[in-house]
Amino acid sequence: QLLCVSGRIMPAKKASQQSKRGSNTRKKGKPAKVTRFSNLFESRPRNFSIGQDLTPKRDVTRFVRWPKYVRTQRHKRMLERRLKVPPTVNQFRTAFGEKHEVMKFAAKYKPESPKEKKERTRREAEDAAGKMKTEKSKRTPTLKYGLKRVTRLIEQQRAKLVLIAHDVVPLEMVVWLPALCRKADIPYAIVKSKSALGRLAGFKTASACCFTDVKPTDQSELAALATACKAEFNEKRPSWGGLSKPSKGAKTGRQKQGKKRSHIVN
């Protein structure tokens, strides 16, 4: 018997109870049971309740509420595929990419940036201050940009190759430009995209650019590109587009043919 702090007499624990806590529960001589699956492909159901197994990842793209501009451009794209598209609009679907030779050639004739222009004018001013008579340096030929400027150059027969962006919004701004180039017999090319032309012109976007003059060493390369663009765009007649069937509704394989009715003449 033990005396507690409160003054009560507490019975002492039995030796058997003390030994049970400290001793191992496994009895000597018997090995522990190992749970083994009878089959490798045995079903192991998972529990997806709170605090249990993680739920598998799902594609929730169809449940996302996209912004209005995304929905608008998707609807427009779908209508262009399903409806009958006239040739003047459909011709803007075939375009040269940003890695085409025309775009690489146009990158050589980027107009000078404001920083380069400031440096050039400063050098010219220093030369003028040092000498009384100075010869003005000839301006290097550059790419001409801007819709009004390009249109005027085409009408004056000064443009040698015209580049038109395929994604101008609204399209009515440039939809007449290919017809004007054909009438003036000037080679043109529809390229991707207005942002790529904008980088060449030094702006965010540009709807059209053209070449009026190039270096003597690049005359043959420009003539070869103009011939290729003329064969690809000027000489080809634009065709109708659209009327494409949806991929989900299209039936695969051959359709089942019904029984042919026999026409018997009495």
Per-residue pLDDT of the chain (266 residues; tens, 9 = 90+): 444 545 555 565 555 555 555 555 555 666 666 666 677 787 888 999 999 999 899 898 888 999 999 999 899 888 888 999 999 999 999 999 999 999 999 999 998 888 888 888 888 888 877 764 555 667 788 999 999 999 999 999 999 999 999 999 899 999 999 999 999 999 999 999 899 999 999 899 999 999 999 999 999 999 999 999 999 999 998 899 888 877 765 655 445 555 555 444 44
Query: Tell me, what DSSP letter sits at residue 231?
Result: I
Return the pLDDT at 123: 84
CB 160 within 8 A of CB 226: yes
Neighbours of 213 (CB within 10 A): 14
Q: Round to whole Å and give the CA distance between 164 and 176.
A: 11
Say how far apart CA 184 and CA 202 lie, in whole Å.
28
pLDDT attached to residue 147: 94
92 within 8 A of 171, measured Cβ to Cβ: yes
Q: How many residues does the chain have?
A: 266
What is the amino acid identity at position 100?
H
Q: Is 35 exposed, middle or buried (0-12, 13-18, 19+ CB in 10 A)?
A: exposed
- Residue 133's identity, in one-letter code, is K
Q: What is the pLDDT of residue 266?
A: 43
Read off φ and ψ for residue 98, nearest 5 degrees: -70, -20
**In 3-state terms, the chain is what percent helix, strand and coil (to 5)?**
40, 10, 50
In the prediction, which pLDDT does 262 show?
45
| pLDDT score at 264 | 46
Report how far residue 175's alpha carbon sits from residue 240's, in angstroms, rounded to the nearest whole number.
15
CB 191 within 8 A of CB 100: yes
Identity of the amino acid at 238: P
For residue 58, the 8-state DSSP code is -
Whether this prediction's pTM lies above 0.85 is answered by no
**Pair type for strands 188-191 and 84-85:** unpaired
For residue 193, count CB atoms less than 10 angstroms from its CB and return exposed for 0-12, middle for 13-18, buried for 19 or more: middle
Q: What pLDDT is recorded for position 62?
A: 84
